[in-house]
Amino acid sequence: MGLRIMIAKNSGFGKLDKKKLEKAIESSYSRLSMSMLHYVEDCVGCMSCKVACPYWYVDHRYSPVNKAEELRYIYRKTTTLSGKLLGKLAKAKFPETEEDIERMVEFAYKCSECGMCYISCPFGIDSGEMINVLRMILTNLGTTPTNLKVLSEIEVKGLQAKLPETMRIWGEALQKARAKIGKELPLDKEADIIVMPSLFDAFITPDAIANTAYILEKAGVNWSMPSKPMLMKPFTAWLLGDLSSAALIGKRLVEYVKAYKGKTLITIDGGIYYYFMRWVYPEVANELLPFEVKHIIELVYELYKQNKLAFNKIDDKITWHNPCKLGRKGGVIKEPKTILKAIAPNYKDLPHHDSENICCGGGGGMALQTQECTRKLEKLTGMKIKEMISEKEKKYLYRQEKVYYLALERKAKDIDKIKPDIVVTACPTCVLSLNHASLLYGPSYKVVHFVDIVAKALE
Amino acid sequence: MVLLINGIDIFVFALNYMFPVALIIFIIGSTYKLARFAILRSPTKTRAPPRKKSVKSLVKGLVMTFLEPIILSIKKNPLDFIFGLVLLHMLGTIPMLFLLGQHVAFFQHYFKLYGILWPLALPLSPTTSSVLTFSTTIPTKTIVEFTNVWGPLNIILNGDVLSICVIVAIGFKIADKLMEKKAGVQSIRPWDWLSLFLLLGIVVTGFLAAHHYPSADETTAQTTITYRDIMGLHVLLADILLLSIPFTNMWHITFSYFYGKLHEFWDMRIRKGLE
């Protein structure tokens, strides 16, 4: 019931409340650092970033520089002398109308925060980071896409461990894992390695938990995992720029790992989850972690290098799609390729790979704002989410979904150039998007999680 | 020759009066910009430990940090690479600003050590053999032997050709911006135009002055715009560009390019270990 009351407030989507807006802008200054000031003030407008963005290919207004300009308007107004003195002449202004808010939300949610614009900018400007600040302002203003808001609130309140349907999915995933390793799972036990899957892992990549367990058992690792899902769609709050909620959720994980004396926290999801816990959590929680955070790929790599894992060869032609927040933004580049090359003699890099890997187009909450996702969320939560979406948001969602599906084509074409049998990845959102890309644009390939292919090579 | 006030012509005004003022504004403006950066304390007190990387990997990372945008530009946006980077920056502005003989002489006047660049100095045109401090001769029509290190490359590396490179590149940039604006892009700012047109003005007046156009004849002073006026306008526009650096996108010449890429190197390559 509490959840329904909270969501009912989402009728404020796209509404302008000037007092709220001022407060939202004020609170965003907590993100104003030396580098952020550089991002805001030092763009020369060369537009080198445009070709890096998956959404620019759909609409030229979605170039990173153009989207980030929404934040620059606001910050120029308050942080620069010219903005204060000249106002609109210096391109400095606050949103004044609901149309301004609608444009802000449209631009803020056409970003997967893939980091490609960051490295392609001749001046090292991270437009994705700026767009996250823009989302922070919008969230504090009360303008958050409903699906993302539901996912975030479920996780903040820990409801994924209480809802009947989510627990059924979780239970099935654990049952699969038990069957795979042929014994009881080490649940809620002290161990060096704590694997922390999310409900999203169990839902989108149902074999990933089982195969992770299988790999760890094969390598003889001392590991355990929680008996209940501690995360829904991990750290959606961070996607919304809601850092305090994200830190709160992260804190729960930290407490859990500490309670079970874990030395390493392992994520199966290579999306925001890994990136947030590995790189962002210490910053937003102002706390150094007393354990390491690794993606399962990094652990498999270490075990392989220690000769604790030996692979059978797989004949399929496989390729690797590195999730942006694991690879380009997270720094895990060589590990997955080393393993996949050891497994598959027919391994082939995508035309765009490593730091230049093309984003699947689904990150940053893009893949989660479709009607299909709304239907699945309704089933998962038992809530009537469609009824919670205002007419204004419906218009936004119509365009949002269209842009998302169109943006997938670029990735589909990149994959189609090498025509693989299997595309391996390591992020549930990438799995979703790559499947959508295959369905919509034709290249016929199977998308599997990294642990699925490794487990197969260990059988 | 066009006189301003009290017998001061535009050349004297630009060089003796405006230049020191522009330099002072540039210094004050730059100090203000840098001070804003320095006093802004990072809200981040704690950071995740960086990945362990070899020195070799970090050196490669540093190089790649600067190279990656260029590689991506070649692959994804070749027109912008040719016009924006090659013609505007690599062939045009940078060698012309720092190596044109006249500029070497100018900088050497204020900073003696700059004179070590004379062997690299570029002539005004492919038909001017000597690298002159103040051009008193109109370029001839005969290609002659050059005395700098560039040898036959002087066919390209000379004021005339490089000026044309910059003019063509600015033309492309203006057209590109107009097209983006038509497509609904909101991130085209007034100072983008200011910088482009200022640079265009500097190069065009420099080109005209080098060719003594419209007139080199000082005897027709007060009735004709002479070489000296055009040169004065050239210096005046350069003064305006200099003073605008801290307040426009020209800030990338002195600070933001280096800060931005070095920050990215630290963030992406040193901390996160991107290879």
Q: For each of chain B's 275 residues, which pLDDT tens digit applies?
A: 566 666 788 999 999 999 999 999 999 999 999 998 888 877 788 999 999 989 999 999 999 999 999 999 999 999 999 999 999 999 989 999 999 988 998 999 989 999 999 889 888 887 765 554 444 455 544 444 556 788 888 888 889 999 999 999 999 999 999 999 998 899 999 989 999 999 999 999 999 988 887 776 555 555 577 888 899 999 999 999 999 999 999 999 999 999 999 999 999 999 999 98
**How close is the nearest chain A Cα to the Cα of B10, in Å?**
29
* Matching residue, tokens 């820990």: A158
Q: Best mutation site among A46, A69, A274, A297 for testing chain B: the one with the most B CBs within 10 Å?
A: A46
Instruction: Assess contact for A188 and A226: CB atoms under 8 A.
Output: yes
**Separation CA B187–CA A361 (nearest Å):** 23
Cβ contact (<8 Å) for B268 and A118? yes
Q: Tell me which H or E stretch contains A170.
A: helix A164-181
| pLDDT tens digits for range A362-395 | 999 999 999 999 999 999 999 889 989 999 999 9
Q: How big is the CA angle at B166 (ends B162 and B167), to the nearest 5 degrees?
A: 115
* Matching residue, tokens 């204060």: A84
pLDDT reported for residue A5: 42
Q: Give the count of beta carbons closer than 10 Å to the beta carbon of residue A20.
A: 15
Q: What is the mean pLDDT of residues A129-142?
A: 96
**Separation CA A74–CA A81 (nearest Å):** 13
pLDDT reported for residue B142: 47
pLDDT reported for residue A113: 94
Lowest pLDDT segment from A100-109, A213-222, B117-126, B172-181 = B117-126
**Per-residue b/e over A100-129, b at no fewer than 16 CB within 10 Å?**
bbbbbbbbbbbbbbbbbbbbbbbbbbbbbb
Instruction: Assess contact for A115 and B274: CB atoms under 8 A.
Output: no
Instruction: Assess contact for A384 and A378: CB atoms under 8 A.
Output: yes
**How close is the nearest chain A Cα to the Cα of B73, in Å?**
7
Closest CA to A53 of A104, A118, A123, A129: A118
* The A422-425 sheet, strands edge to edge: A318-320, A422-425, A446-449
Closest CA to A100 of A11, A15, A39, A22: A15
**Separation CA B217–CA B267 (nearest Å):** 59
Two tokens at B64? 């790649």
Cβ contact (<8 Å) for A69 and B190? no
B179 contacts in chain A (CB < 8 Å)? none
Compare all CA atoms of chain B with the CA of A89 and give the residue at the minimum distance. B190
Q: Is A425 helix (H, G, I), strand (E, B) or coil?
A: strand
Closest CA to B257 of B85, B97, B87: B85
A131 contacts in chain B (CB < 8 Å)? none
| Predicted ipTM of the assembly | 0.94
A358 contacts in chain B (CB < 8 Å)? none
**Separation CA A75–CA A91 (nearest Å):** 10
Instruction: Assess contact for A269 and A232: CB atoms under 8 A.
Output: no
- Using CB atoms, pick whichever of A69, A119, A122 lies closest to residue B187: A69
pLDDT reported for residue A146: 94
**Separation CA B203–CA B198 (nearest Å):** 9
Any CB–CB contact under 8 A between A32 and chain B? yes
Lowest pLDDT segment from A31-35, A150-154, B172-176 = A31-35
Q: Is the overall model pTM greater than 0.80, yes or no?
A: yes
Closest CA to A244 of A297, A206, A283, A273: A283
Q: Specify the amino acid at residue A356.
A: E
- Using CB atoms, pick whichever of A34, A44, A63 lies closest to residue B252: A44
pLDDT reported for residue A304: 97
Two tokens at A305? 């290098």
B183 contacts in chain A (CB < 8 Å)? 60-61
Two tokens at B151? 């040898």
Instruction: Assess contact for A172 and A178: CB atoms under 8 A.
Output: no
DSSP summary character for residue B62: H
- Is the bond preceding residue B190 a cis peptide, omega within 30 degrees? no
Instruction: Assess contact for A272 and A234: CB atoms under 8 A.
Output: yes
Instruction: Assess contact for A311 and A457: CB atoms under 8 A.
Output: yes
| pLDDT tens digits for range A255-303 | 999 999 999 999 999 999 999 999 999 999 999 999 999 999 999 999 9
Instruction: Assess contact for A77 and A87: CB atoms under 8 A.
Output: yes
pLDDT reported for residue A13: 85
Q: Best mutation site among A33, A65, A104, A119 for testing chain B: the one with the most B CBs within 10 Å?
A: A119
Residue window 291-310, chain A: list those with CB within 8 Å of chain B.
Answer: 293
Residue window 63-82, chain A: list those with CB within 8 Å of chain B.
Answer: 63, 65-66, 68-69, 72, 82
Q: Please, which pLDDT band fits residue A232 given cuts at 50, 70 and 90? A: very high
The DSSP annotation for B98-149 comes to HHBHHHHHHHHHH-GGGGGGGGGPBPSSTT--S--SS--S---SS-----ST
**How close is the nearest chain A Cα to the Cα of B238, in Å?**
19
DSSP summary character for residue A89: G
Q: Give the count of beta carbons closer than 10 Å to the beta carbon of residue A375.
A: 12
Closest CA to A441 of A354, A372, A361, A323: A361
Q: Tell me which H or E stretch contains A453.
A: helix A450-458
Cβ contact (<8 Å) for B69 and A122? yes
Q: Give the count of beta carbons closer than 10 Å to the beta carbon of residue A315.
A: 9
Closest CA to A49 of A131, A104, A105: A131
**Separation CA A186–CA A188 (nearest Å):** 7
In sign, the C-alpha dihedral spanning B167, B169, B170, B176 is positive
- Using CB atoms, pick whichever of B36, B80, B274 lies closest to residue A48: B80
Please state, in angstroms and as integers, the Cα–Cα distance from residue A400 to each residue in A233, A368, A442, following that order.
20, 10, 22
Cβ contact (<8 Å) for B72 and A120? yes
Q: What is the mean pLDDT of residues A83-99?
A: 93
**How close is the nearest chain B Cα to the Cα of A78, in Å?**
14
pLDDT reported for residue B4: 67
* Residues whose CB is less than 8 angstroms from the CB of residue A171 and which lie 6 or more positions away in sequence, other chains included: none
The answer to whether residue A214 scores a pLDDT higher than 70 is: yes
**Separation CA A350–CA A392 (nearest Å):** 40
Closest CA to A189 of A237, A280, A261: A261
Two tokens at B195? 């910088």
The answer to whether residue A185 scores a pLDDT higher than 90 is: yes
Q: Is A234 helix (H, G, I), strand (E, B) or coil?
A: coil
Strands of A152-225 (E only): list them.
Answer: 193-195, 223-224
**How close is the nearest chain B Cα to the Cα of A91, in Å?**
7
- Using CB atoms, pick whichever of B42, B186, B273 lies closest to residue A66: B186
Instruction: Assess contact for B10 and B233: CB atoms under 8 A.
Output: yes
Q: What is the mean pLDDT of residues A131-156?
A: 95
B46 contacts in chain A (CB < 8 Å)? 282-283, 285-288
**Per-residue b/e over B162-192, b at no fewer than 16 CB within 10 Å?**
bbebbbebbebbeebbeebeeeebbbbbebb
Q: Give the count of beta carbons closer than 10 Å to the beta carbon of residue A54.
A: 29
Q: Specify the amino acid at residue A296.
A: I
Q: What is the mean pLDDT of residues A72-92?
A: 91
Q: Tell me which H or E stretch contains A299.
A: helix A296-305
Please state, in angstroms and as integers, the Cα–Cα distance from residue B230 to each residue in B14, B21, B212, B216, following that order.
11, 20, 8, 10
The residues pairing with A293 across neighbouring beta strands, listed in sequence order, are A265
**CB neighbour class for B36 (10 Å; exposed up to 12, middle 13-18, buried from 19):** middle
Any CB–CB contact under 8 A between A260 and chain B? no
The answer to whether residue A2 scores a pLDDT higher than 50 is: no
